[in-house]
Structure 1
Amino acid sequence: MTLLGKLLKNRKADEAASAWHRPGLQAPDNLTLTSGDFTDGAPMPARQAAKHGGGEDLSPHLAWTAPPAGTAQLLLVMEDLDVPLPRPITHCVALIDPSRTELEPGALDAKRPGPGVRLPRASIGRGYHGPGPIKGHGPHRYVFLLYALSAPLDDAAEGARPRALLSSISAPPLGRGRLTGTYERR
């Protein structure tokens, strides 16, 4: 696998295809998203990596500032910006009750989500799927994007693939925030 990573070293997803840059998801950057497990731009702990990447697939602790008034639902999206494909891969999508301002470690588990958390499909499946980049490909950036939605997504959107789910957002978000962690397999 290390050879494959080295061969693909200069191939990365187009960051402009990230949810952060989608026209329908533009909003004021008024949510501060943090983690008790890593700081913005820093490496994520190994326990948060995918099992095939040497980890436990344990979603990190996440906390955020109170969402703007009128928030009906929070949308959390986790993407790998450095996957060697044309677009970032979505590792997790979560719909969160707007009264929440924090998720404990493991709250994005598909079998036992935390209170007030629903887990629509991601590119890989439901729930949190931790970092698992190709060995030797270099560090990957995993971005957690949080959106304050003015209207909840309907049940049909929850069964859709991530791009279709994001396209189903009919009103501009009231706010957003982001947090980036890195992970590398050598």
Structure 2
Amino acid sequence: MVVLSKIYTKTGDAGETALGNGARVAKHSVRVSAYGTVDETNATVGLARLHATGDMAEALKRISNDLFDLGADLCTPDRHLDAGLSYTPLRMIEGQISRLEREIDAMNEKLTPLRSFILPGGSVLAAQLHLCRTVCRRAERLVVETATMEDVNPDAVRYLNRLSDWFFVAGRIANNDGKDDVLWVPGLTR
């Protein structure tokens, strides 16, 4: 259980932070940047939730919770040492990925295939979901970079990859099931 009785601890004043396993690392480390960008993705989801209703709002709420799970996973490195910890670390699992895939497939059934790239916009919710998508892609790049240097749960990468696709399709749903998508016109302003 998390207990936050004191918000500032002063332990990070020298530019270091603690990982979930207690190790101290630089705040600019790629791992901290990766889970920090996952947190940023979650903040954009919070903005999108302000404009969502019904099933979309519920899905975004689940995703927001998943992103906290993902942050917990990423802040506790060395999966192969999990047994040596005094607690069981939270890890992303296949079920979270397959849920996103099912939701993408269900949303995609309502959409006509694209014949052009789309621009962010249309509705406020669609624009917010495209912002979620781009920040999510940045988080994915940082997690992949972390994985080239340190141990990272492969399901963490897969989740982010699928989530950015989810945001793209959800953005189309938010645009009147794709009818109000803003299409890219190559060279329009030449």
Please report the TM-score for the alignment, with normalisation by the length of structure 2.
0.28
Larger radius of gyration: 2
Please report the TM-score for the alignment, with normalisation by the length of structure 1.
0.28
Relative contact order, higher structure (CA 8 A, sep 6+): 1
Greater fraction of residues in helix: 2
Greater fraction of residues in strand: 1
